[in-house]
Amino acid sequence: MVLAGHALFSLAFFGGLFHWLPAALQDSGRSSALTAYAASMGLISLQGLLTLPFPLLTRFSARFSADLALACAPGLWILCEILRSRFPWGGIPWGLLGHSQLPSLYLAQAADLGGAFLVSFLLAVVSSLIVLGFRRGSLRLQFAWAVVLALAVGYGFYRVLFWQPARGEGVTAALVQPVVQSAAQPEHYASRYFEALPALYQQAALRGADWVIFAQAPNPYSFGSDFYYTGFWKRQVQTYGIPLLLNGASPDVHRPSSALLLDRRGEEAYRHDWIQTIPWISPAGGASSNRSVTVGEVAGIRFSSLIGFEALFAPLARQAVREGANLLVVVSDDSWLGDGAALHHLLNAARMRAIEMRKPVLRSANSGLTASIDPWGRSGPVLGPFRQDVLLAEADGTFGRSIYSIIGDWPCLLLAAASAAASLLAPRAMKARADDSQ
């Protein structure tokens, strides 16, 4: 019964989370209908397998004590979230419970203490205390969940209403949403990279931008090896004198590649090569062990960039902050995802990184959603899906480090391990005690 129930849960929960994937794989031209649905079912099955410890261990402990099962449930839930976010090949941190609190923001502020996993844990604790309180008919337990929730929300109110980060230099950044199509004809790329994008760059310069950021996008041209393309953009930057973060693509237009910065002289001053994407979803899925986060500087602000799905992975953002980044930049090509829920999920991931690190995040996406996010996770104006435009954003680099950026996921890992150990060992101790009493 447990396995059958979990199979139904996995199909409903993960099927809903990844409902967009078959259409996205087909629309991008990467897969046939059969392959797309097979890949989606494989992903759903894997996610279900990685969350199997939750029903198995809660059921095992509930055979001896329902109260014990409820006490262990929050830690077991984040154990499954951690497993999904780490395995296999770097994991798929999609649909974490903590992200559900971003619309209200206050409870999500606890992420600067323990990341999205801590927010998930707090929600699970409140739920367990509510059930336990009704089960026992205990006003004290019902009061306990209210206290936990009040403390978490109160911390959020303090962070949002009273706390201010130490700010450094400010910058006016132009976030360019170019809407470059995938697997298009050569004429399309020529018109985008030699007509539309230069016009948007010039528009940003005339509007007073200190820095122009192009989204990651399909690009058949390679900066550095393509002589005409390289010279063209060097001349553009030299003419207007505005630093440009652009797509240093590989010849494969579907493959995530690099983000590189041209300084005011048109010289390459910074480069970030993609480190991690998602297996089954990204064509270059998995982690690259021989690459690391790099930090650059624009207008006195130290920044680091994340490409595409890298924004889902909190460890990469932590590494950037450890290296001295005061601002995070996310450049992404989400055009193959359509205009559905996946775009909002990726925007929410960037918002969560801003809260966890207490750093502003500038997100420039090829087809949306492009936005500027402050250190509280609040986004200003957002460029909607498939709208070619420039978003001008003011951002200040922030100094200092959040607790989460220092200690990482260790508290949640310990909570998860303790809950798993308790659910396995406590029933045996209870049984041994009962045998001794007889």
Same domain for 323 and 343, yes or no, is yes
DSSP state of 195: I
Same domain for 237 and 373, yes or no, is yes
Write down the pLDDT at residue 289. 45
Provide the domain limits for residue 27.
2-162+431-437
Residue 274 has pLDDT above 90, yes or no: no
Instruction: Give domain status of residue 207, yes or no.
Output: yes
Per-residue pLDDT tens for 148-201? 999 999 999 999 999 999 998 889 999 999 999 887 899 999 999 999 999 999
Report the alpha-carbon distance of residue 119 to residue 108 in Å, rounded. 6
Instruction: Give domain status of residue 323, yes or no.
Output: yes
Same domain for 172 and 156, yes or no, is no
Looking up residue 174, the CATH number of its domain turns out to be 3.60.110.10
Same domain for 118 and 181, yes or no, is no
Instruction: Give domain status of residue 408, yes or no.
Output: no
Among 24-28, 53-57, 157-161, 233-237, whose mean pLDDT is lowest?
24-28
Confidence class for position 251, pLDDT limits 50, 70, 90: very low
Higher-scoring residue by pLDDT: 108, 281: 108
Instruction: Give domain status of residue 194, yes or no.
Output: yes
Backbone angles phi, psi at 95, to 5 degrees: 75, 35
Q: What percent of the chain has pLDDT over 70?
A: 91
Residue 280: left (phi > 0), alpha (psi -120 to 50), or beta?
Answer: left
Same domain for 117 and 180, yes or no, is no
Q: Can you give the length of the chain in residues?
A: 438
Among 80-94, 161-175, 419-433, whose mean pLDDT is lowest?
419-433
Same domain for 75 and 24, yes or no, is yes
Same domain for 148 and 183, yes or no, is no
Task: Confirm if 301 and 171 have CB atoms less than 8 A apart.
Answer: yes
| Single-letter amino acid, residue 221 | Y
Same domain for 51 and 178, yes or no, is no
Instruction: Give domain status of residue 274, yes or no.
Output: yes
Same domain for 124 and 205, yes or no, is no
Round the average pLDDT of the chain to a whole number and report it. Answer: 89
Short-list 103, 101, 82, 109, CA closest to 93: 82
Number of domains comprising the chain: 2
Q: Is-above-0.95 flag for pTM?
A: no
pLDDT (average), residues 68-83? 95
Among 135-144, 348-357, 378-387, whose mean pLDDT is lowest?
135-144
Instruction: Give domain status of residue 405, yes or no.
Output: no
Per-residue pLDDT tens for 296-345? 999 899 999 999 889 999 999 999 999 999 999 999 988 888 788 889 99
Same domain for 34 and 177, yes or no, is no
Instruction: Give domain status of residue 404, yes or no.
Output: no
| Single-letter amino acid, residue 286 | G
Same domain for 251 and 387, yes or no, is yes
Instruction: Give domain status of residue 179, yes or no.
Output: yes
Per-residue pLDDT tens for 195-242? 999 999 999 999 999 999 999 988 888 888 889 999 999 999 999 999
Rg (CA), the chain: 24
Report the alpha-carbon distance of residue 374 to residue 358 in Å, rounded. 8
Write down the pLDDT at residue 302. 96
Q: Given the DSSP bridges, would you call strands 361-365 and 327-332 parallel, antiparallel or unpaired?
A: parallel
Report the alpha-carbon distance of residue 11 to residue 48 in Å, rounded. 8
CB atoms within 10 A of CB 2: 12
Same domain for 152 and 181, yes or no, is no
Write down the pLDDT at residue 130. 93
Task: Confirm if 169 and 396 have CB atoms less than 8 A apart.
Answer: yes
